[in-house]
Structure 1
Amino acid sequence: MKRRNFIRKSSSYGLAITLLGTYACKETKKKEMEEEGSAEMSGELAEPFFKLSLAQWSIHNMIREDGVDPYTFAELAKNWGFTGLEYVSQLYKEELEAADYSKEAMDAFVAKCNAESGKHGLENLIIMIDGQGDLATADAAQRKSAVENHYKWVDAAQAMGCHSIRVNLSGSTEPDEWTASSIDGLTQLATYAKDKNINVIVENHGGLSSNAEMLANVMVKVAMENCGTLPDFGNFCIRKEEDQCVEQYDIYKGVKELMPHAKAVSAKSHDFDADGNETVIDYVQMLQIVKDAGYTGHIGVEYEGSQLGEEAGIIATKELMINAAKKVI
């Protein structure tokens, strides 16, 4: 073969191979894009509309019974795939109460929490306050004392970069009395917290606070931007007898009524079926309510079950939230 003909034929073969390769590459890319689009349509690649935080109460048995240091909270949450932290004041009660909640003790608490959350790159979100007095008591003097007992926690939340403290409204079982006392207690505390850029948020947490319609009405009457709710998927028992709930508020109606005032959300869980669903709470329905309210912040996992250990229960709840979010419209 003459050199000229060889070069011409070689060039033709090379061009054919190049064109064939380009076509194959385009077809592969097209297929990948189609598969990616299909996955997005099915929700497989879509990120949840919320961020994941962990309520420290989920590890209260580890801390109280197994001796786990509460200051390892950030490390544990990081290892389990969370980005936000929701602290529980009573899990630090022993050391703080021993120091009579002195400024030095509170400052040390703040410093340790900040050091750990900073080291592990997590965001401090909420401190859940218990045992500091009844903000909804009918006794005005006791109510004022309870408000002032919460001041140190507002200051701690500010120093930790949290957005809120969670408080309880126990108080009277008489609706009008409870409502009036709740409005007054919250107004006093939210007024103090306002200057610190801290929200005062109320969880449906038993008693009349689990009557969502009444709690929402309190929020309307307080009418302060930094006072809101923390809807919990599972805390809607208004009255118990012998540790059994005898008066239960509709959990879906309750969350829907509290969401317009929500500054955080708590995903309560207890037990799971063979498919990984919560046995009592329909997470798809709950997350649909939350999304429909326009909420896109953190949702805190709060496992309280006995079927699984705390670590397994936390992970099961987290996986359920991610899977349920794919089914939300």
Structure 2
Amino acid sequence: MQRRTFVKAMSSMAAAGFMPQVFSASELNKPNFEIALSQYSFHRSIFGDSRKNYQTFIKLVHSDPDAVLQGPMDPREIVVVARQLGVGHVDLANILWFGRGQDKAWIQQFKNMAKDNNVGFTCLMCDELGKLGSSNKILRQQAIEKHKPWVETAAELGCLQLRVNAYGDGTYLAQLEQNAESMLQLAEFTQNMGIELVIENHGHPSSNAAWLAMLIEKVGHPNLGVYTDLDNFFMGGWNHSPQRRYDRTQGLIDLAPYTRGVSAKTHGFKANGQELTIDYFASLKILTDAGFNGFVCGEFEGKEMSEMQGSQATLDLLRATHRQIVGA
């Protein structure tokens, strides 16, 4: 399938008759959040089969990033898909267009497409830019410098936030100290660019919510917060077996005071539309009760449904959860 036909083919699967949310004056004073769609929900349509061998994939991302774009979907078409799904905001992932981040013509076309579809960008999630918590100070500074051009890209696109990873090496305490130095520098830089810096609980020590909360407190910068993933509370490496998990409820309580954005990940759904393993009402209620009122970004990661169907189901779940929370 050619890229130009992707959106046309997918549009037939979008839900019909979606009505945008309208809030009364009284509802505006209730716990609230806005809904966005994750670009990464369509990574299979963008990457095609290029991720089958992950080591080869990562090498290509750095050496020939356009070579991994083997699917029918152009990464920029996410704004068209979002509009078809009735969503006005999108979270972006740099890994999906790694070779185009500093391509001004490509970025301008992306902006034009977003404007044409009346879609805005919320958070730009950055990966593969080095370890901000490395024990090697030179490597830490190199990682900071690699992030800066993407901060500029985020600003050019009108993103509200830039998400980074607190990856490093050494003990938990060492990584806390090492990451804190880097995050302070980046928090200052992003603030000057009008972008909020957020750290996701995204594996390794950051999936230990107490550790991530301590990192935010140690840095103590008003432009630094957490991009809370409802599912990423597994500790250790990505392939650690058996998997060790930080209790989700406790994790959300720990991170709630610092949460500036939410990744609402789904893998599958029950017959009643609820996610298989995550209680969305309970999870988001913890965050809104703590004062969160930002963007909750739906990210479908399942394989039993198409990306369009799974994204639709994810957004439907978020809309239903929103109605529950504002009515609670």
State the TM bucket, normalised to the shorter chain: 0.7 to 0.9
Instruction: State the Cα distance separating 1:55 from its structure 2 match.
Output: 1.0
C-alpha displacement at 1:49, in angstroms? 2.3
The one of 56, 79, 92 aligned to 1:74 = 79
Give the percent of matched residue pairs that are identical in Structure 1 and Structure 2: 30
Secondary structure of the 1:263 match is strand
1:133 aligns with 2:138: no
Which residue, out of 69, 89, 92, partners 1:87?
A: 92
Q: Residue in 1 aligned with 2:218?
A: 221
CA distance in 2, matches of 1:51, 1:241: 30
State the 1:174 CA deviation: 1.2
What amino acid is the match of 1:229? Answer: V
Unaligned stretches of 5+ residues in structure 2 = 1-22, 24-29, 49-70
Aligned AA (2:77): T
The 3-state SS of whatever aligns with 1:291 is helix
SS of 1:67's equivalent in the other structure is coil
Please give the secondary structure, in 2, of the residue aligned with 1:225. Answer: coil
Alignment equivalent of 2:195, drawn from 194, 198, 201? 198
Task: Tell me the amino acid that sits aligned with residue 63 of structure 1.
Answer: I
In structure 2, what is the Cα distance between the partners aligned to 1:218 and 1:110? 33
Instruction: Give me the TM-score of the superposition, normalised by structure 1.
Output: 0.80
Name the structure, 1 or 2, with higher relative contact order (CA <8 Å, separation 6+). Answer: 2
TM-fit CA distance, 1:48: 8.5
The superposition leaves residues 281-324 of structure 1 with CA deviations (integer Å, 9 ceiling, x where unpaired) of 00110121121022222110011111211111111111111222
Does the Cα contact within 8 Å between 1:202 and 1:228 map onto a contact in 2? yes
2:139 is paired with a residue of what secondary structure? helix
- CA pair 48-262 structure 1, distance change in 2 beyond 3 A: closer
SS at structure 1 position matched to 2:285: helix
| Length-normalised TM-score, structure 2 | 0.80
The structure-2 alpha-carbon separation of the partners of 1:280 and 1:134, relative to structure 1 and needing over 3 Å to count, comes to: same
Contact 1:238 1:245 in 2 (8 A): no
The CA distance in 1 between the partners of 2:181 and 2:238, in whole Å, is 29
Q: Deviations over 1:40-61 (max 9, x none)?
A: 9xxxxxx992211011110000
Which of 313, 317, 322 aligns to 1:325? It is 322
Contact 2:281/2:321 (8 A) holds in 1: yes
Partner residue of 1:282 out of 265, 272, 279: 279
Superposed CA RMSD: 2.0
Residue 8 of structure 1 corresponds to none
The alpha carbon displacement at 1:152 in A equals 0.3
On the 8 A contact 1:135/1:171 being kept in 2, the answer is yes
Which of the numbers 169, 174, 179 marks the counterpart of 1:182? 179
The CA distance in 2 between the partners of 1:297 and 1:165, in whole Å, is: 14
Cα distance, 1:172 vs structure 2: 2.0
Q: For 1:121-146, what per-residue CA distance to the aligned partner results, in whole angstroms no more than 9, with x for missing partners? A: 11111111011111111111000000
Q: Is 1:56–1:87's contact at 8 Å kept on the other side of the alignment?
A: yes
Distance 1:242 1:214 in 2: 20
CA offsets 1:199-230 (integer angstroms, 9 cap, x no match): 11100000000011111111111111111110
Post-superposition Cα deviations, 1:248-273, rounded to whole Å, max 9, x if no partner, equal 01112112211211221111111111
| Aligned positions of 1:289-304 closer than 5 A | 289-304=286-301
